[in-house]
Amino acid sequence: KQEPITFHVNGHAATLDIAADAPLLNVLRNDLCLNGPKFGCGLGECGACTVLVDGVAARSCVIPLAGVAGRNVTTLDGLAQEGRLDPVQQAFIDEQGAQCGYCMNGMIMTLKALLLRSPSPTEDEIRSELDFNLCRCGTHVEIMRAALRAVE
């Protein structure tokens, strides 16, 4: 029998006795009721499912639960601190970056990861970082405005 797997998610320890190869996205949404990350493609290509693993952006649909054993996972649900939205979240609200909103999790978490490793990125750096997050509504202008506001 396999051992339960423990990891930290949004600052809390979670121990789960489920299949080690379950996609992290499914575990977060179905077992831990964290619905920030979204299912888009399930293939690691669209970015809708992005979370932070030890502060680095990662696509949770292609990471098995065993891959985060002992590590720190942050989801969109855990970005707000002490009742205050993260500045990246606030910037997307202020600039109305969402149309349907499905890609917002990925945009926000990817930008958050960029800011953690590079607090003052250039516009080109932001563009290339968000390049692999798909938005089918075409709100790229608003998304870039929000991203630039977030780094101000």
User: Footprint of ligand FES on this chain (CB under 6 A)?
Assistant: 39-42, 44-49, 59, 61
| Nearest CB to ligand FES, comparing residues 45 and 94 | 45
Please, what is the minimum distance in Å from the beta carbon of residue 1 to ligand FES?
30
Cα–chain-centroid distance for residue 82? 19
| Nearest CB to ligand FES, comparing residues 61 and 88 | 61
| Nearest CB to ligand FES, comparing residues 36 and 47 | 47
Question: 128: which residues sit within 8 A by CB, 6+ positions away?
Answer: none
Please, what is the minimum distance in Å from the beta carbon of residue 108 to ligand FES?
15
DSSP string, 24-75: HHHIIIIIS---SS--S-SSSSS-TTEEEETTEEEEGGGSBGGGGTT-EEE-
Alpha-carbon distance values, 128 to 55, 99, 144 (Å): 19, 21, 11
Alpha-carbon distance values, 56 to 48, 72, 101, 105, 139 (Å): 15, 10, 22, 14, 25
Please, what is the minimum distance in Å from the beta carbon of residue 81 to ligand FES?
26
| Nearest CB to ligand FES, comparing residues 89 and 133 | 133
Please, what is the minimum distance in Å from the beta carbon of residue 146 to ligand FES?
21
Please, what is the minimum distance in Å from the beta carbon of residue 125 to ligand FES?
21
User: Among 14, 28, 16, which Cα is nearest to 105's?
Assistant: 28
| Nearest CB to ligand FES, comparing residues 37 and 97 | 37
